[in-house]
Amino acid sequence: MVVCDRDHLKGGSCSGVSAFIAETLSPSASLRDKTVEKKP
């Protein structure tokens, strides 16, 4: 996890809304990740 704003760090956890989220797709599960797990 990358935290850009230290104000979101509380104790050992992060609070607040994420500014950026990235998901890594594996070649073996890419079809499932792009169809079954995709929700509008």
- pLDDT at residue 35 in the model: 77
- pLDDT at residue 26 in the model: 82
- pLDDT at residue 38 in the model: 61
For the chain, what is the radius of gyration of the CA atoms? 15
- pLDDT at residue 33 in the model: 73
Q: What are 14's strand-pairing partners? A: 9
1-40 pLDDT tens trace: 677 777 888 887 878 777 777 878 788 887 877 777 666 6
Q: What are 10's strand-pairing partners? A: 13
CB 9 within 8 A of CB 3: yes
* pTM for this prediction: 0.32
Question: What's the number of CA atoms in the CB half-sphere (13 Å) around residue 30?
Answer: 5
